[in-house]
Amino acid sequence: MKEKSNPVETQLAEKIAKDLKSRGLWRRTAKVYTDMLDIARSSTEVSRKAQQRNECLRMARR
């Protein structure tokens, strides 16, 4: 994977996702996690963000 992760950008995206999640905006949160896949640095990070995105999409279907 390319080295393109920016810690500040990642932290900001995490904060946005947490805020959206707390407000129950599941599809928007999933979109933030999808965008974070592009800035993930490792395969572990990609996997974790994909799981979080999938969890949000499951919650949106309820």
pLDDT band of residue 6 (cuts 50, 70, 90) is confident
Q: What is the largest CA-CA distance in the chain?
A: 37
Per the listing, tokens 């800035």 go with 39
More confident residue, 6 or 14: 14
pLDDT tens-digit series, residues 8-27: 899 999 999 999 999 999 99
Written as six digits, the tokens of 26 are 């599941």
Q: State the alpha helices, DSSP H only, in the chain.
A: 7-22, 26-39, 43-61
Q: What is the mean pLDDT of the chain?
A: 91
More confident residue, 3 or 55: 55
